[in-house]
Structure 1
């Protein structure tokens, strides 16, 4: 299988985030992508370098003011007296009064949600490379590949059109899905990260050409808290094209796979021309960010279920923070996924 990857991810390496008011080690580290890359190369998957993509494919999904903020924030922040080496917001815009201030201090709280999306010197360049990797994977399937994997870091599914959060700055899967929808018509996304893809949901909530399904831990007690509930079904033209399947904490393979089965039935009923997968390995039992309890064999079984879709597929990497297990879990997922896909092709 061909995969896309940008080494610019290494430019984004903030070592601290703020959780529950405490400065803690940032789990979203360059070591994550390095582990996944090593596993892919060891298994003989073929690496494709992403090309330079026009900004218009990113601005088709993201607000121009937000993109300008991401590109210029670090330099503007460093010009402040006593500026910290990482950007962390200390004031946040309430959803009912989102007036965009001109000051960098105000814009940090306007465009970033929470303490888990710090900005370092190389964050913008890394996020741009990650988005380009997703776009390149979409180009591969448009040019005839049956499947392609975008090894994206930083991840993206918590990024809204106009603000970032939860380690995410640009919504890689949404950028790729919008690109595919413009070329093919109807596409679907299934998100199996342990956390709800709230940014992806928001971007497509009123659209009928992108069908979104998310299987995740209960957002009432798990990040992102404010979206991901079963009653959220889309609005306007998008009504009925948003399916959330939240699970109780500590759910193991049977419950998780049953939800994926339900989500895939929804995808197949929609009959998309292509499917994208927000692929997170943080549902793994023991992952430091997760409250689900999925096994390595569970990921293999998930790959089999998702691989049953017969059209072109773009896999986009999201979370997964137990670095020592990332390669093993990716290999298990791809084994199940490719075995079913290859069997169907013969």
Structure 2
């Protein structure tokens, strides 16, 4: 298994976030990557490969040009206005409001949907580095690798085409899935002409609202997500079972919202449902948004999965028989994070080896 590292991830290190009305220490820290790297090395995985960051041309395949311009310059404009770091919105242009203002405070509300995606001086560079790791992982599959793992930070599945949120700025998994889909038609940009060749499976505790929105009207990428029911959990406004896609994409989005407290057995039953949907779709490639905040001790989750569950998840994914890219998303139970990542990846590769 080739492992690709977002080597500039440490440039993104916000001092705090606003969670449920409280200012708290940022959960999505550089320490997460250090812990995973140590666990991978101890388990005998190959040395991670540091790759070049994604370019603007890479990013524009799924993100809008105006949003990318905002991300690239948000911090310097914030500072130039005499505002204190980090960049965080204090107002949002909800329906009925006008979006005429281009001042830094207005832009923050236009392009950020919550208070858990603060922008620092190095945030855009770190996000480009993470996107580069995911794209390198996609290229590895195209070159014949059975598995690849993109150790991305910041994560990406909450980032929409033109919006940051939930620790996410660029959608790493969506960029990888789009690259794989384009590969089947020589890079043709018209999704409606592409064969249905890619599935995205999101197993993070939180719904991948950004990934869903990017592919919602497309029929070349199937998106499947198992997550906490948004009726009680972030991101609240997307992730319901009746969201099935729109237009040509109708039927190409599957959400499996799950109740609080779900255990290993119950989760694996739901996973079987999701994997059957993917098998029925018949993709050539699979991208897994691999979040580990489903773990019972995670401070941001309310599921009850044990470490053993991740091995079963890895085995079940491998049983699809697809070239698979695992893209790192959430997971904030620091003490167990490395072990959980290794357990998932080991489950996949040992199933194939055995």
Instruction: Compute the TM-score of the two structures, normalised by the length of structure 1.
Output: 0.96
Shift of 1:289: 0.5
Q: What does 1:207-246 align with in structure 2 at a 5 Å threshold?
A: 207-246=218-257
Match of 1:204 among 194, 207, 215: 215
Task: Describe the superposition over 1:149-171 as per-residue Cα deviations: whole angstroms up to 9, x where unpaired.
Answer: 00000000000000010000000
**What's the C-alpha RMSD, in Å, of the aligned pairs?**
1.2
How big is the shift at 1:15?
2.1
1:95/1:144 CA distance change after superposition, 3 Å: farther
Counterpart Cα distance in 2 of 1:96 and 1:157: 28
Q: What is the aligned length?
A: 342
Shift of 1:95: 4.7
Conserved 8 A contact 1:133-1:152: yes
* Conserved 8 A contact 1:15-1:29: no
Structure 2 contact 159–170 (Cα < 8 Å) conserved: yes
Between the aligned partners of 1:98 and 1:178, the Cα distance in structure 2 is 33
Contact 1:2 1:149 in 2 (8 A): yes
Structure 2, unaligned runs of 5 or more = 185-194
1:59 — aligned with what? Answer: 60
Deviation at 1:332, TM superposition (A): 1.2
Q: Report the TM-score when normalising by structure 2.
A: 0.94
Q: CA–CA distance in 1 between the matches of 2:59 and 2:280?
A: 29
Q: Output the CA distance in 1 between the equivalents of 2:79 and 2:60.
A: 26
Establish whether residue 255 from structure 1 lines up as the match of residue 266 from structure 2: yes
For residues 87-236 of structure 1, what are the structure 2 equivalents within 5 Å? Answer: 87-95=87-95, 97=97, 99=99, 101-184=101-184, 185=195, 186-236=197-247
Tell me whether 1:339 sits opposite 2:350 in the alignment: yes
Aligned to 1:37: 37
Partner residue in 2 for 1:281 = 292
Equivalent of 2:330, from 298, 313, 319? 319
Distance 1:341 1:93 in 2: 50
Match of 2:28 in 1: 28
Query: What 5-or-longer segments of structure 1 have no aligned partner?
Result: none
Q: Is the 8 A contact 1:159 1:165 kept in 2?
A: yes
Contact kept? 2:52, 2:129, Cα under 8 Å? no
Which whole-Å CA distance do the structure 2 matches of 1:98 and 1:170 have between them? 26
Partner of residue 78, structure 2: 77
Q: Which residue of 1 aligns with 2:6?
A: 6
